[in-house]
Structure 1
């Protein structure tokens, strides 16, 4: 029964946390989202971000309330482990690990969506938005990895590097 609760909490937390991380990343990259994406993102996250902004003001031009909100969501979702007898320390460390994994998976998802758009419909309305979100990740890789036969392998390299980071994080935490 507890695993069903964990599944439901994780699913809801993943969606909300992903939206909060997307909101933060859109501001970091200074990418203006298309209207439907903006409406979805802000409608789903304003209830948490606006009150947090009173406590955590934006500094350096970044919306720290969105990032901290995402961490609070993962911490709350991970606290279900307390019901299974885990200590507060374990829950906090697990929350940090899951938060970093959410970030990595978010980047991976953006890269895969970008690759699919480039193959299927490069002129899709969301394609420029997704490409702009990926640009900061791919720019340094594209400086090192040249086009091979007119094919851009930077997305593949970025996915591999993100998986390496994920493996290193897994070893650090466990």
Structure 2
């Protein structure tokens, strides 16, 4: 029974945390989302972000309330999943690892979605939005890895680098 509860908590926290991280990244990269994405994102996260903004105003063009809100969600989910008697320090470290993992997996998902759009339908309505979200990640890689035979390998390189970072984090935590 506990594993079912953990599955539900993890699923809800992952969706909410992912939306909060997407909200932060959209504002950090100054990418205007399509209406459907904006409505979904803001409707799902306003209940947490608006009160947090009273405490944590945006500074430097970054929506800190969304980022801290995502961490609070992962912290709460980790605490609920660790009802078996973890110490507070272990819960915080576990939450920090999960939070960083969510960020890495979110970037990986955006890169994979971008690659699929480029292969299947580069003129899809969401393609420019996803591409713009990936641009800050791919720009430095594209400076080093030029297209080979007209094929852009920067997405593949970015995915490999993110997997390396994830493996290093797994060893650290």
Point out where structure 1 has 5 or more consecutive residues left out of the alignment: none
Confirm or deny: 8 A CA contact 1:138 1:155 kept in the other structure: yes
Inter-partner Cα distance in structure 2 for 1:48 and 1:66:
8
Inter-partner Cα distance in structure 1 for 2:171 and 2:76:
24
In angstroms, what is the RMSD of aligned CA positions?
A: 0.6
SS at match of 1:52: helix
SS at match of 2:82: helix
Tell me if 1:127 matches 2:127: yes
Aligned length: 173
Inter-partner Cα distance in structure 2 for 1:80 and 1:6:
8
Inter-partner Cα distance in structure 2 for 1:3 and 1:97:
20
Structure 1 segments, 4+ long, off by >6 Å, are none
Q: Structure 2 length normalisation: TM-score?
A: 0.99
Aligned position for 1:70: 70
Inter-partner Cα distance in structure 1 for 2:19 and 2:128:
19
SS at match of 2:83: helix
- Displacement after TM superposition at 1:81 (Å): 3.5
- Displacement after TM superposition at 1:88 (Å): 1.0
Confirm or deny: 8 A CA contact 1:82 1:88 kept in the other structure: no
Q: Structure 1 length normalisation: TM-score?
A: 0.98
Inter-partner Cα distance in structure 2 for 1:151 and 1:110:
19
Point out where structure 2 has 5 or more consecutive residues left out of the alignment: none
Q: Deviations over 1:140-165 (max 9, x none)?
A: 00000011111000000000000000
- Displacement after TM superposition at 1:82 (Å): 3.4
